[in-house]
């Protein structure tokens, strides 16, 4: 098992790793809309989703992976009424690659974020 960290994504805001590589898989922690410097990104759900996906892409890239290597995501929204707007950004980034996905509405997210996304990706053999 290897704990993964990159300066190109926000540092963990608690006792966890940005990701963990284990037995051929990369498990990311849920990413919220923070800049790589750890600053909250303002804006609507589209901007926040874009930043979250940028963060995931940076963590994946630190292991030589991209969004096309993702096999599963978990999406947490504070308002399912924003699902369509989040989904449009998500679909544009993933394109024809369609990982399994779970989407859940939650009461709140850290730093007042509106969206959090975590991913599981397959590491190269």
pLDDT digit string (tens) for 55-98? 999 999 999 999 999 999 999 999 999 999 999 999 999 999 99
Say if CB 9 and CB 119 are below 8 A apart: no
Q: Strands (DSSP E) along 1-125, which ranges?
A: 2-4, 19-22, 25-28, 70-77, 100-105, 115-122
Six-digit token string for 46: 């589209």
Q: What is the pTM of this model?
A: 0.97
* CATH 1.10.1200.10 at 2-122, yes or no: no
Q: pLDDT category, 50, cuts 50, 70, 90?
A: very high
Side-chain-side CA neighbours of 110 within 13 Å: the count stands at: 14
């Amino acid at each position: 098992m290897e704990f993964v960290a990159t300066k190109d994504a926000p540092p963990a805001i608690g006792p966890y790793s940005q990701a963990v590589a284990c037995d051929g898989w990369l498990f990311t922690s849920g990413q919220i809309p923070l800049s790589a410097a750890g600053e909250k990104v303002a804006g609507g759900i589209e901007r926040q989703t874009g930043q979250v996906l940028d963060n995931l892409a940076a963590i994946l890239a630190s292991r030589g992976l991209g969004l096309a290597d993702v096999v599963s995501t978990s999406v947490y929204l504070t308002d399912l009424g924003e699902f369509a707007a989040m989904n449009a950004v998500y679909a544009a980034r993933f394109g024809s690659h369609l990982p399994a996905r779970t989407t859940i509405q939650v009461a709140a997210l850290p730093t007042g974020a509106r969206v959090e996304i975590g991913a599981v990706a397959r590491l190269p053999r």
